[in-house]
Amino acid sequence: MASTATRESQTPITLGHFKVSLALSAALLSLSFVPRVQENATLQLSFWGAIFSLLVWQGWLLLEAHKRGESFGFTVLLRPQHYVQAMVQCSVYVYWGFFWRPVYDHAWLILAQILFAYAFDMLLSWSRRRNYTLGFGPVPIIFSINLFLWFRDDWFYLQFLMLALGFLGKEYVRWNREGRNVHIFNPSAFALGLFSVILISTGTTGLTWGQEIASTLTLAPNIYTYLFLVGLIVMYFFSITLVAGMAAITLLGFSALYSATTGVPYFLDSEIPAAVFLGLHLLITDPSTSPRTPMGKLLFGILYGLGVFGLYTLLGMLGAPTFYDKLLCVPLLNLSVIAIDNTVRSINSDSLTNVWKQSWFGGRGNLAHMGIWIVVFIAMSALGKMDGRHTGDSVPFWEQACAEGRSNSCARVEQLYATYCNDNAGWACNELGAFYREGQYTDANEQMALTYFSQACELKFQAGCVNLLDDTSVTRSEPKELDLRLMLREGGLNLMQLPSGELYARACEHNWAFACDRSGSFL
Amino acid sequence: MSKKQSRAATDVKTNSSDTISTAPAKPAVPGRTVGFVIMSVLTVFVAVFMQVQSRNLGNTDTSAAYTEELEGFRSDLWYLPDDELLGFVAIPAGSFTMGSNPALDRMAYENERWSRTQRQGQPLLPLYYIAKFETTRAQFAAFVADSGIAQQAIANSESLPGDLPVTQVNWPDALAYTRWLDEQLRASSDTPAELKAFLESGARVTLPNEAEWEKAARGEDGRVFPWGSLPNTNMANIASDRPLPVGSIECDECAYGLSDMSGNVWELTRSVLKDYPFSDEIDRDNLNAEQLYVMRGGSYSDQANNARAAVRGAVDPGVRNDTIGFRVVITQ
């Protein structure tokens, strides 16, 4: 060994392909000096921490490789499911960000995550002593994660950790499926699911933009139609229509059933929340972590729909943010893939298991599925179940339903008040305070009531100030113009410049009785 | 594994004669155990870290609280003044002159006129108690540390003396402090019996209304300033660049011996700004209007005309700035 060591010490260490990973680290370092990153010290430190970790890892790998006389390289493989998916996701960012600017502000951070992801994935492959498959693989993973969850600047180091766990999960959590050793979980869904559980259990959702992301997709007009159209591209190329379509149809079906039974919509302001609609097109459709048989895909889609439907209520009952519904069930479904495949195989009927496959559609099964999905979407749009006004957008509707004691509607009223209060609508803060002071539909809580009355008062909503002075009764008044501009944004319009007459007309359409009288005075 | 990698991955081994063999061999691919353990440890670390973050998010900021002794104040009783009535002064029941008579006060503003036919009014007030000093930073910090409310009032200025009047508080913040102090005084065994009896008779700690504030400032004789009818820059912190610790300027001539009723910081009241005659009724008829709340006494940055006892400043309830503070009353 001594002579070996001598030989090694005489051989200079060459960087070889490590130049690529070093270049990625250098690019990440240069990004840490852009103004967007420099404006927050913790954010910049997060970058430097990530770079330091990558450099230490590279240094260790380089020495190990030198000691062993190994070198690692690349295998270039450009898979359409990566770059097509990435382009579709990118287009969603562009469209959504046009109507919600924080998305564009986040662009530098997404770029940084892509650099980090490539470097991390590369080093992980080399640590496993194999060439790195260079392609677009990390891009859709990063895009997918950031379409649902990103950490605020003060906690951005957790975003790098989330990515790291996603890639580690892809590498280390595997099973044998149909004779091949493959990863169990969709990498982005694994990271999102894991962090969702941690965020829910620690009550730290506030460290992320998750709630805002889920609720601002609808700021982009006709977002459902947009997602539907770009979803068709993915469906066409990768035959995921059965999964996405069945998930949507299941959700729509159960929503309709719930609505017919209770008289109120299941989801607050849509038949399928826009973020769920996005998720069923772009989050659950990874071919390597979903079933391969048509019947399996069908079951997978149905189970996703059921999972979101059930989790929405479950999370609400636990007092957790409901936007996690679409994230939590994906890892569970990934785990059930083999069971689904086995179930399908156990069905001893070729005609049934192949019913969606070849014979009925002349070998063009996916196009036929897409055709059905297009018809379903057009029908739902025509019925006003997608873009456009939704029954649940109306606060008075929910107030009336609450007064009538309809299922879950008082909780929805409270949720709506809280959302609008958070948006600085003084009227909503005052109503929320009244909700807690009166204790008619929830447990009375004077401390909470005072908190919300204070907020209303600060927002110059005079009834809130009166309620602070007199704690023996509740004073209410009608929403002011600014309140209406904040509360009637469904469909995504910015109503700040809307003429008063049109604003009151819009409020009248949303069942605000006082606004109907007032809109007439602007004619 | 690629051909290139296979070629590169050579196993170097030493035989008995110390010759080196470089026969190509497949490198040992590391097992997944170590990686899986690292991943699991990382996950647990994140979970624990976020649990700690969760506690930090939910915790009240007690670092804002003052802990040192302040001369003249009781650190064991929320830094209230160290006297028999914890800094409260009784204002006896009776009427007083409210508003301004321009014939006697050339600096009077129009909104100080009582009515079309009457320059000044004579409201009758029952007994009440008013704080001798403006509410201090130390007092407010005790409230913040206990409740977690209104932390911004004392954030980033921990080095400032605790006996400065608190500023950067808005109207709901001030009211929240009074509610909190009310609870403390009712619950404490150290509360003077006189105050406790008054509280138990139905009184409460709150902000003064305009009349309570004005009577406490000018007494019953209608003087223009707390000390008399002529301006005197030695009697009040006005026309300066900063507030002074409460009670810095002695004023034995002032009505009821209160400090800083003129200047130092504007003092919020619980009254909405509306034309006289004064009424303490809560205005429920103008809920759609954006009402302003009256503040009294002027601040260190004002001139004498704004530091008169009858001056009526007003502010949005959400406004916080460096010139606005408050003092409390115990009233029915």
pLDDT digits (tens, 9 = 90+) for A13-45: 666 788 999 999 999 999 999 999 999 999 999
| pLDDT at position B8 over 70 | no
Residues B165 and B303 in one domain: yes
- Range of weakest confidence among A51-60, A359-368, A494-503, B98-107: A359-368
From B55, B81, B98, give the residue that closes a domain. B55
Residue B159 has pLDDT above 90, yes or no: no
Q: For residue A331, which residues of chain B lie inside 8 Å, CB to CB?
A: none
If one counts every other C-beta atom within 10 angstroms of the C-beta of residue B76, the result is 11
Q: Does B1 touch chain A (CB under 8 A)?
A: yes
- Token pair 């390597």 is found at A288
Residues B100-156: tens digit of each pLDDT: 999 889 999 999 999 999 999 999 999 999 999 999 999 999 999 888 887 777 776
Residue-wise pLDDT tens digits, B39-75: 999 999 999 999 988 877 665 555 567 878 888 999 9
| B96 plus B17 within the same structural domain | no
pLDDT tens for A259-307 read 899 989 898 767 888 889 999 888 887 777 888 888 888 999 999 999 9
Q: A486 pLDDT exceeds 50?
A: yes
Burial of A146 (0-12, 13-18, 19+ CB in 10 A): buried
Give pLDDT tens digits for B272-291. Answer: 999 999 998 988 888 988 89
Identify the domain containing residue B282 by its residue range. Answer: 63-331
Whose tokens are 């950790």? That residue is: A161
Closest-CA distance, B30 to chain A, in angstroms, reads: 6
Supply the mean pLDDT for chain A. Answer: 88
Q: Let me know whether B36 and B67 are in one domain.
A: no
Nearest CA in chain A to B10: A69
The pLDDT tens digits for B173-220 are: 999 999 999 999 999 999 999 999 999 999 999 999 999 999 999 999
How much is the pLDDT for A362? Answer: 55
pLDDT at B332: 92
**Which residue is closest to A476 within chain B, CA to CA?**
B287
**Same-domain status, B72 and B151:** yes
Residue B149 is predicted with a pLDDT of 83
Most B CBs within 10 A among A457, A473, A480, A483, hence the mutation to make, goes to A457
Q: Is B314 at the interface with chain A, CB within 8 A?
A: no
Question: Both B135 and B42 in a single domain?
Answer: no
Q: Locate B51 and state its tokens.
A: 């649990």
> How confident is the model at residue B18, as a pLDDT?
40
* B84 plus B204 within the same structural domain: yes
Residue B151: CB atoms within 10 Å: 16
Nearest-CA distance from B48 to chain A in Å? 9
- Phi-psi category of residue A439: left, alpha or beta, with phi > 0 → left and psi -120 to 50 → alpha: left
Report the pLDDT value the prediction gives residue B23, as an integer from 0 to 100.
42
Phi and psi at residue B69, in whole multiples of 5°? -75, 145
The residue in chain A having the minimum alpha-carbon distance to the alpha carbon of residue B43 is A165
Candidate from B14, B46, B289 with C-beta closest to A1 = B14
Q: How many domains does chain B have?
A: 2
Look up residue A445 and give its two tokens: 């809580």
CB A258 within 8 A of CB A251: no
Distance from CA of B81 to the nearest CA of A (A): 26
Beta-bridged to residue B331, according to DSSP, are: B204
- CATH value at residue B207: 3.90.1580.10
Q: Which amino acid is at A230?
A: V
Tell me if B241 sits within 8 A of B72, measured CB to CB. no
A residues 28-47 closer than 8 Å to B (CB):
none
Q: What is the pLDDT of residue A387?
A: 67
Testing the interface with A: which of B19, B50, B143, B271 to mutate, by most A Cβ within 10 A?
Answer: B50
pLDDT in tens, A349-364: 666 656 555 555 555 7
Of the residues B39, B55, B71, the one at which a domain ends: B55
Q: What is the rounded CA–CA span in Å between residue B182 and residue B56? A: 28
Asked whether the beta carbons of residue B270 and residue A459 sit closer than 8 angstroms, the reply is no
A497 Cβ neighbours under 8 A, 6+ residues apart: none
Q: Are residues B119 and B141 in the same domain?
A: yes
Does residue B46 sit at the A interface (CB-CB below 8 Å)?
Answer: yes
Q: What percent of chain A has pLDDT over 90?
A: 55
- What is the chain B residue with the closest CA to A465? B172
ipTM, interface predicted TM-score of the complex: 0.85
Q: State the pLDDT at residue B4.
A: 41
Q: How far, in Å, CA of A484 to CA of A507, rounded?
A: 7
Q: Is B307 found in the same domain as B160?
A: yes
pLDDT at B25 over 90: no
Residue contact B12–A69, C-beta within 8 A: yes
Per-residue pLDDT reduced to its tens digit, A418-471? 988 988 999 999 999 999 999 888 889 999 999 999 999 999 999 999 999 999
Residue B251 confidence (pLDDT): 85
Residue A194 has its nearest CB partner, among B10, B43, B289, at B43
B229 and B87 in a common domain: yes
pLDDT for the residue B3? 41
Could you give the angle at which helices A325-335 and A337-346 cross, rounded to 10 degrees? 60
Model pLDDT, residue B63: 58
Q: Which of A151, A430, A465 to mutate to test the interface with B (most CBs of B within 10 A)?
A: A465
Separation between Cα atoms, residue A46 and residue A103, nearest integer Å: 20
Distance, in Å, from the CA atom of A15 to the CA atom of A467, rounded to the nearest integer, reads 70
Give the DSSP H/E element, type plus range, for residue A54: helix A41-68
Interface size A-B, in CB pairs within 8 Å, comes to 140
Domains located in chain A, CATH noted? 80-341+356-382 (1.10.3430), 391-520 (1.25.40)
Q: Are residues B33 and B178 in the same domain?
A: no
Q: What is the pLDDT of residue A4?
A: 35
Q: Which of these three, B15, B39, B55, is where a domain ends?
A: B55
Q: Are residues B288 and B232 in the same domain?
A: yes
- Please tell me the least confidently modeled range out of A142-151, B13-22, B312-321: B13-22
Coil, strand or helix at A15: coil
Average pLDDT in chain B: 87
B27 and B71 part of one domain: no
